[in-house]
Structure 1
Amino acid sequence: MRGLVKLTARAVSFIPCRQCGGGRPPAPLGGRILSNPDDVFKHNMWDHVQWTEEEREKARQKAEENSEEKIPVEEQSKYDREAHKYWDQFYEMHQNKFFRNRNWLFTEFPELLPPDTGGMLMAEQEQGLQSVNREKHNYKDTYPGHHAAFRILEVGCGAGNSVFPIINTIRGSKAFLYCCDFSSRAIELIQKHPDYDPAVCHAFVRDICDATSPFPFPPESLDIILVVFVLSAIHPARAQAVVRGLAGLLKQGGMVLFRDYGRYDLSQLRFKKGQCLSENFYSRQDGTCVYFFTKDEVHDLFSAAGLEELQNLEDRRLQVNRGKKILMHRVWMQSKYRKPEK
């Protein structure tokens, strides 16, 4: 049973969260702590789970094993060259039924919530900067969201699992949401959704690896950029240029909110031999690709783009199938990086 552990409750290894002193941890990343191994099958998920050295070594060996046989070099380029096709097929097949709406966003990323006060003052302060940017970059006097005092961009928005919780939260405020994906099928699904509202959201097709294609707003005009399970789908050799480009879209003091796959997550260990493109980078059966990050890699990506770290966490959880008595280790990265004030 690849990547899974089938155990009785008493066989579960448990190490108290070091950062929490054995007590309830502060948010972020949840507060459901497994303090008694006998309780493991009482919930579907446990937070802040520490691995034993044995578990970590088994995971490392499994990843090493499934990376031994690489996809032939002459075939690798097609996964990058035809990525649009693979993701269009993915959304054509699953539409908006594959992922659930990310209602956890505002718990982990409260920065997405527009400021309650000061919106008009912010807009007045921005007016001069925006006019300079429009003139310098040939933007028109009006563009989608030009009136907003608080601007959010979600890159790689997919079928809208973050988009619609955000739209329904910011409607009636001075905030505006941009969302883009390089799958035209995904953007079509968003625009046809009954909750899509052009008054508060502008969805558009954009390959964020293409530095020559313009955005529908000026540089240095965004307060928040949301990057959730996106960079992992990009070839790791391209990731740094993408992050640098995104940093250029932020205002001073603006933030990138990041969440993605972590090294030795269950989904990495489940890959079979012959699906590996390069170290920790794999192709799924449907042709889409995924990379698995470490904390140091995330820090290096955003720091090299001139952003300062506010948060960089490894989210380790124990996912439980209570019916089959199966335990699964999940690993995600969650980070927040800010553009410094000059």
Structure 2
Amino acid sequence: MAGPYPERAPAVVGAKRQQFGSRFLNDPARVFHHNAWDNVEWSEEQAAAAERKVRENSTQRVCQEKQVDYEVNAHKYWNEFYKIHENRFFKDRHWLFTEFPELAPSADQNDFNDWLSENKRSEVPEGRSKEDGPGLKTEEQHMCSSDSLGHKTQMPPVEGDVTQKLSRLEICADEFPGSSATYRILEVGCGVGNTVFPILQTNNDPGLFVYCCDFSSTAVELVQTDSAYDPCRCFAFVHDLCDEDTSYPVPGESLDIIILIFVLSAVVPDKMQKAINRLSRLLKPGGMMLLRDYGRYDMAQLRFKKGQCLSENFYVRGDGTRVYFFTQEELDTLFTTAGLEKVQNLVDRRLQVNRGKQLTMYRVWIQCKYRKPLLSGAG
């Protein structure tokens, strides 16, 4: 059974990683010369075979009783996954800054903030004060806990214990963690920090603050106890993005970037739209939602056996975790219904190879960028 997340081909040490879509297999005889090839065209026969395989593995559905168990006890299955694998399963995603340069420090980031300030100068939301300048933090806001889990920080008690859910409350703009930051990033479904830590280590912008949450309290504890975790620049918390009765620890229209990397696919399909709607309300006008996830007919989907299908294109793995396989159109509908505008929506059809075993693996991933309009009535 394929794991919950795909592995990327390792980068050449010392070489600048090319953005995907730039390495083409023009000569089939050279297939094992590299670890991966981009935008690999599928033949009609291959596409038809994939469709047949999905029809075949979808004929027998998981019984309703077990489906309820996988939903009600989803956090238990993910906690068990992280207890077994801890931080050994995943690799840091340094490809992030090639595919999503919005996460890296650059002139573009400053230009974006200047552009946003110019367009929003007279549009400060009611009840909120304008942002302080870069790096202007009060002593109370900048104090960090000596506790390795960051539980004693000078912040509201939104996450007193990693096993507790956030209490529902109204968060004032001058109280929430990272309130003095000038560039705020939230990763939903952070796992053990394989996106968060590269961002913190690469982006030294003094105005940056990173939020990260996961369904699994075990995963969040692994993030908080990691030596790279800095509660002065990051706030990790347990959160179920499908829980409509639990607030995020930030006010509406306060985030510049929201990251969803191989996480939306773990959500029951009929709960996806409300989850994206809630996240959209957290974005500043001009803010961006970034997604990378499984595409339809990815190798992982074709490997499922009969009896593992929950509903159309939605499966349960052997460890009890679940996964959905998207089309571009489905994701476009989710984001645009939430009031966001398309910046990017593309398929990464990648041929990965194991040169040692002479094996080929066809991956299908979708990458999206959607922006909240400046004059937005969304949310």
Q: 2:80 aligns with which of 89, 108, 119?
A: 89
Further displaced range: 89-98 or 138-147: 138-147
Q: Could you tell me the TM-score, scaled by structure 1's length?
A: 0.87
> Does the CA-based 8 Å contact 1:222-1:254 persist in structure 2?
yes
SS in 2 for 1:166: helix
Q: Partner residue of 1:101?
A: 92
Q: CA deviation at 1:170?
A: 2.3
SS in 2 for 1:257: strand
For structure 2, list consecutive stretches of 5 or more residues without a partner in the other structure: 3-17, 130-168
Q: Partner residue of 2:290?
A: 257
Distance 1:87 1:46, change over 3 A: same
Q: Counterparts of 1:1-342 in structure 2 under 5 Å? A: 28-114=19-105, 116=107, 117=110, 129=124, 132-133=127-128, 137-139=170-172, 141-342=174-375
CA distance in 1, matches of 2:121, 2:179: 10
Q: CA deviation at 1:294?
A: 0.5
Corresponding pairs, count:
317
- One-letter amino acid of the counterpart of residue 129, structure 1: V
Distance 1:122 1:262, change over 3 A: closer
Q: Partner residue of 2:155?
A: none
> Does the CA-based 8 Å contact 1:221-1:250 persist in structure 2?
yes
CA distance in 2, matches of 1:213, 1:133: 21
Cα deviation, 1:180-211, whole Å, max 9, x if unaligned, reads 00111000000010110111111011111011
Q: Could you tell me the TM-score, scaled by structure 2's length?
A: 0.79
Q: CA deviation at 1:171?
A: 3.1
- One-letter amino acid of the counterpart of residue 211, structure 1: E
> Does the CA-based 8 Å contact 2:189-2:214 persist in structure 1?
yes
After superposing on structure 2, the runs of 4+ consecutive aligned residues of structure 1 that deviate more than 3 Å are 114-131
- One-letter amino acid of the counterpart of residue 95, structure 1: E
For structure 1, list consecutive stretches of 5 or more residues without a partner in the other structure: 3-26
Q: CA deviation at 1:141?
A: 2.3
> Does the CA-based 8 Å contact 2:21-2:348 persist in structure 1?
no
Cα deviation, 1:237-263, whole Å, max 9, x if unaligned, reads 100111111100001011100000000
Return the structure number with greater helix share: 1
CA RMSD of aligned residues (A): 2.4
Q: Percent identity?
A: 54
